[in-house]
């Protein structure tokens, strides 16, 4: 090839290749929904606009430094994009700044991360290879000696393109930057790299929020709670479990779609199905977690506050003042402890548990772990429950003991000898293995109940069982559509966020309760069962056994469920039928007539109030004893 004919500057080559790759990732790897032509246009132009802005900076450097800047920027940008791809494959979400500070968890991820890597991922770095090769082979001819006018023109053009991109995004999505909990909309409209810049700004803002808080913000929030969530009535079950032990079991990644359901003609959860008959079972109970997953579910149960939309509160605000469930029941004579066969520092639990009032954490060091009795993330559930019994029997009563299972954790690995049903057959390895690990957890629960009865603890305890969060993300739509025998659309995805919730009180008849409920309601419900007054507590949940309750369940991404509607991604569905009632694409514009619109404002207000409490550490200004 004649080098003198190569006139395309390296920075433009890099911008074109990187922009094209980013668009392909947006369109075919990220599961971003597009509803109209304008969204298509924005999604197409954004990668090239952002790439031009990033690589046009090269013209301000001297010739030789242009090569170095362009080479390393395309490598850095590709790595950032790839890390988001790997994260998205499991969580259908994008990385946030707080998550990067949770790097201490990375050593425990092991096979989970490896399971998200595909052999063809190398193709995602072809543009890097081309640019690096071109820089080495034709470097001199790809350099640009730009004058000041050219530099200013390139800079001005890149800014104009960004402004046009943002203007189109505002037309498509008014108040885009005010809906910060909806990361998909941010990425769809301003791109993943601009989203990361905006996320960094939000992170700095949230860090400053505590420093400038003075407690005056609480008056508006407490007024809201008194009007919306604080109900001074007491249900018929108030105090029914007074002085009884509480055994709380958090089921890793168990979703309600497996309950009372079959796979290949076999029950997936035979024990949990039987348990419904003599338990209070909430069939429309939703998890409300976000990026903190299990730790978020713990935070919700302990505090009846919403988790952060970015990162995990267990990491970002572990030192806040809280008025948590373990602390409250500790003041009523309860010994509170946690059983979880994992490293005590994972999700920063050792710090957070001490802060919210747990007296003892039985972590992996309390168990005998071997290659034979562990799989995936650690100790098998059967062995976990069995080894925990000796500690449970030695606790002073009454106690509150939380158990967190592990076996049904992504990537849902299970030893062949422990599998009692066959794998499912779909295009998703994740879903195929999921049913086997759910069944194993179910069988382990049956044995644990037997052990409780033999130990004499069963009759003096209430047993609460809750799924902590989803196990199957919407990255597996095709496989879920196959299993559910219906199109797995946005409505089905929200309904799949239902997780099992049982309150098992020995001697009580069972009842299936259909009212909508969520993890935000667990704390006040348990306190009322124990006969503890909550009139001086601050929470966004209400006792699930009361007839008068808040009329919506909010998910952390802004979606919500009411008695009549399911709302997600600007779409309002009939909750019973799944019929799309309206698509309020521009909520601040023509969307006012949507039947879901009044709830949109309520949900955003409640999520905002919870964020103010957490980010501002506002409970330090409140006297819960007065």
Residues 6 or more apart whose CB falls under 8 angstroms from that of 122 comprise none
Residue 373 has which token pair? 């009795």
Task: Burial-class residue 581 by CB neighbours within 10 Å (0-12, 13-18, 19+).
Answer: middle
Whether the Cβ atoms of residue 563 and residue 576 lie closer than 8 Å to each other: no
Query: Residue with structure tokens 């919407």?
Result: 474
Whether the Cβ atoms of residue 134 and residue 10 lie closer than 8 Å to each other: yes
What's the DSSP call for residue 462?
E
Catalytic residues: 294
What is d(CA 21, CA 130) in angstroms, rounded to the nearest whole number?
A: 12
- Indicate the SS3 state at residue 1: coil
What's the DSSP call for residue 66?
H
Instruction: Give the residues across from 502 on adjacent strands.
Output: 281, 465
Residues 6 or more apart whose CB falls under 8 angstroms from that of 422 comprise 264, 436
Q: Pseudo-torsion of CA 325, 326, 330, 335, nearest 10°?
A: 140
Residues 6 or more apart whose CB falls under 8 angstroms from that of 177 comprise 186, 198
- The arrangement of strands across the sheet holding 245-251 comes to 360-362, 335-339, 399-404, 245-251, 461-467, 501-504, 280-282, 511-513
Residue 451 has which token pair? 């052990």
Q: Which helix (H) or strand (E) holds 435?
A: helix 429-455
What is d(CA 504, CA 280) in angstroms, rounded to the nearest whole number?
A: 6
Helices 477-484 and 429-455 sit at what angle, rounded to 10 degrees? 60
Q: Are strands 374-375 and 378-379 parallel, antiparallel or unpaired?
A: antiparallel
Residues 6 or more apart whose CB falls under 8 angstroms from that of 107 comprise none
- Percent helix, strand and coil across the chain, each rounded to 5? 55, 10, 35
């Amino acid at each position: 090839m004649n080098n003198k004919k190569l006139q395309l500057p390296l920075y433009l080559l890099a911008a074109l290749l990187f922009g094209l790759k980013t668009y392909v990732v947006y369109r075919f790897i990220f599961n971003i929904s597009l509803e109209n032509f304008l969204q298509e246009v924005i999604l197409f132009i954004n990668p090239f606009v952002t790439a031009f802005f990033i690589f046009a900076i090269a013209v301000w450097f001297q010739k030789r430094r242009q090569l170095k800047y362009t080479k390393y920027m395309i490598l850095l940008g590709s790595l950032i994009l790839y890390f988001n791809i790997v994260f998205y494959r499991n969580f259908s979400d994008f990385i946030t700044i707080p998550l990067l500070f949770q790097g201490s968890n990375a050593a425990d991820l092991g096979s989970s991360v490896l399971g998200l890597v595909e052999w063809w991922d190398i193709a995602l770095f072809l543009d890097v290879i081309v640019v690096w090769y071109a820089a080495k082979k034709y470097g001199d001819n790809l350099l640009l000696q730009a004058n000041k006018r050219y530099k200013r023109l390139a800079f001005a053009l890149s800014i104009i393109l960004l402004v046009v991109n943002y203007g189109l995004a505002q037309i498509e999505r008014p108040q885009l930057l005010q809906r910060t909990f909806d990361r998909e909309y941010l990425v769809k409209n301003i791109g993943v790299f601009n989203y990361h810049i905006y996320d960094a700004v939000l992170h700095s803002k949230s860090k400053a929020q505590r420093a400038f808080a003075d407690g005056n913000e609480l008056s508006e929030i407490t007024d809201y709670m008194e009007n919306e969530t604080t109900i001074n009535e007491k249900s018929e079950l108030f105090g029914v479990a007074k002085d009884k032990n509480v055994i709380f079991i958090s089921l890793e990644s168990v979703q309600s779609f497996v309950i009372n359901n079959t796979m290949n003609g076999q029950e997936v959860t035979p024990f949990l199905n039987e348990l419904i008959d003599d338990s209070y079972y909430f069939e429309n109970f939703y998890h409300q977690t976000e990026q903190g997953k299990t730790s978020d579910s713990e935070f919700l149960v302990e505090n009846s506050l919403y988790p952060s939309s970015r990162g995990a509160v267990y990491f970002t605000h572990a030192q806040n003042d809280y008025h948590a469930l373990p602390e409250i029941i500790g003041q009523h004579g309860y010994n509170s402890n946690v059983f979880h066969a994992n490293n005590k520092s994972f999700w920063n639990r050792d710090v957070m548990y001490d802060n919210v009032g747990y007296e003892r954490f039985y972590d992996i060091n309390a168990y005998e772990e071997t290659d034979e009795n562990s799989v995936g993330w650690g100790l098998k559930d059967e062995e976990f429950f069995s080894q925990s019994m000796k500690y449970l029997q030695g606790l002073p009563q009454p106690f509150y003991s939380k158990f967190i299972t592990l076996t049904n954790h992504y990537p849902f690995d299970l030893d062949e000898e422990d599998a009692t049903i066959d794998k499912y057959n779909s295009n998703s390895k994740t879903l195929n293995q999921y049913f086997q690990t759910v069944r194993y957890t179910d069988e382990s629960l049956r044995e644990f109940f037997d052990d409780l009865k033999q130990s004499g603890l069963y009759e003096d305890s209430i047993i609460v069982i809750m799924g902590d969060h989803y196990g199957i993300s919407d990255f597996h739509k095709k496989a879920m559509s196959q299993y559910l025998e219906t199109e797995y659309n946005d409505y089905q995805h929200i309904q799949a966020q239902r997780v099992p919730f049982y309150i098992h009180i020995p001697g009580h008849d069972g009842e299936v309760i259909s009212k909508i409920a969520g993890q935000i309601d667990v704390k006040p419900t348990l306190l009322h069962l124990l006969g503890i007054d909550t009139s001086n507590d601050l929470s966004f949940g209400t006792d699930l056994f009361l007839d008068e309750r808040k009329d919506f369940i909010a998910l952390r991404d802004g979606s919500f469920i009411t008695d009549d509607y399911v709302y997600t991604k600007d779409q309002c569905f009939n909750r019973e039928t799944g019929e799309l009632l309206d698509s309020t694409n521009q909520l601040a514009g023509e969307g006012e007539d949507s039947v879901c619109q009044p709830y949109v404002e309520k949900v955003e207000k409640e999520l905002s109030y919870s964020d103010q409490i957490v980010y501002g550490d506002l409970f330090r200004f409140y006297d819960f004893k007065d």
